[in-house]
């Protein structure tokens, strides 16, 4: 069984004061855990699918039986999105200090510079309507784009590779930031694990 709730590599309060402990606890132990439970239940009749790792399963969305596509799209996507999300945040100051000039150049290459990249990311995340994710993705041509995905869709469902994504469902921020999504986005950027972003860029 590959669908298990991943342990966080840090404590629930480790991202304070930017991301509060109670939000992290509920987000991880309740929301993420529920996606996994519902994914497993939804795939009970398909043990061959349960044997796949989550990235492979989500990547094969369009090839799956029609009856399980919604389960994989919603709950499989939720599991994968959150698994990546936890890994691209860090309490370690070395991980989240400003990116190196080399990484800034790479991230900014398709956006007219690093500052434009950050501005575009904030704008996209702020303006995503309803619930979903804003992802920096590597497209099929190998170029970086910033895209919004509704609900729990993941870039792998569309042949794109997820590099860095922010959860803008209200459950990710409403306890601390209430309705101020823009404030949450600014705080979240303070805990980005740029070393992990670099690792994902190099995959």
pLDDT confidence of residue 108: 97
| Residue 146 pLDDT > 90 | yes
Q: What is the CATH number of domain 21-87?
A: 1.10.287.990
Question: How would you list the strands of the sheet with 132-138, edge to edge?
Answer: 144-150, 132-138, 161-167
What pLDDT was estimated at residue 177?
A: 96
Q: What confidence score (pLDDT) does residue 94 get?
A: 87
| pLDDT over 90, % of the chain | 96
With 80 as the cut, is the pLDDT of residue 2 above it?
no
Answer whether 21-87 and 93-201 agree in fold: no
Q: How many helices (H) and strands (E) does the chain have?
A: 12, 3
Kindly report the backbone phi and psi dihedral angles of residue 90, in degrees, each rounded to the nearest multiple of 5, phi listed first: -155, 145
pLDDT digits (tens, 9 = 90+) for 65-116: 999 999 999 999 999 999 999 999 999 988 888 899 999 999 999 999 999 9
pLDDT in tens, 171-200: 999 999 999 999 999 999 999 999 999 999
Q: Domain ranges for the chain, please list them.
A: 21-87, 93-201
Triad 44, 6, 4: Cα angle to 5°? 15
pLDDT over 70 percentage in the chain: 100
The pLDDT score that the predictor gives to residue 93 is: 87
**What is the CATH number assigned to the segment(s) 93-201?**
3.55.40.20
Q: How far is CA 67 from the centre of its chain?
A: 25
Distance of CA 133 to the CA centre of its chain: 7
| pLDDT value at residue 1 | 52
Q: In the predicted model, what is the mean pLDDT of residues 132-137?
A: 98
* More confident of the two residues 98 and 5: 5
Please identify which residue in the block is written with the tokens 């705080």.
187
Mean pLDDT, the chain, rounded, equals: 96
Q: What is the pLDDT of residue 96?
A: 87
Q: Give pLDDT, residue 95.
A: 84
């Amino acid at each position: 069984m590959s669908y298990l709730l991943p342990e966080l590599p840090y404590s629930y309060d480790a991202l304070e004061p930017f991301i509060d402990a109670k939000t992290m606890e509920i987000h991880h132990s309740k929301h993420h855990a529920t996606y996994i439970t519902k994914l497993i239940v939804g795939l009970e009749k398909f043990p061959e699918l349960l044997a796949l790792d989550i990235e492979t399963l989500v990547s094969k969305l369009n090839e799956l039986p029609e009856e399980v596509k919604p389960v994989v799209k919603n709950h499989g996507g939720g599991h994968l999105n959150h698994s990546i999300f936890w890994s691209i945040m860090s309490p370690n100051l070395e991980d989240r200090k400003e990116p190196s000039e080399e990484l800034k150049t790479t991230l900014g290459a398709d956006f007219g510079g690093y500052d434009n990249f950050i501005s575009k990311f904030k704008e996209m995340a702020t303006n995503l309507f309803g619930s979903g994710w804003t992802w920096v993705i590597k497209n099929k041509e190998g170029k970086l784009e910033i895209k919004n995905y509704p609900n729990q869709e993941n870039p792998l469902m569309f042949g794109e590779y997820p590099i860095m994504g922010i959860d803008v469902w209200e459950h990710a921020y409403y306890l601390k930031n209430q309705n101020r999504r823009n404030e949450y986005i600014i705080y979240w950027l303070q805990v980005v694990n740029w070393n992990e972003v670099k690792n994902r860029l190099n995959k």
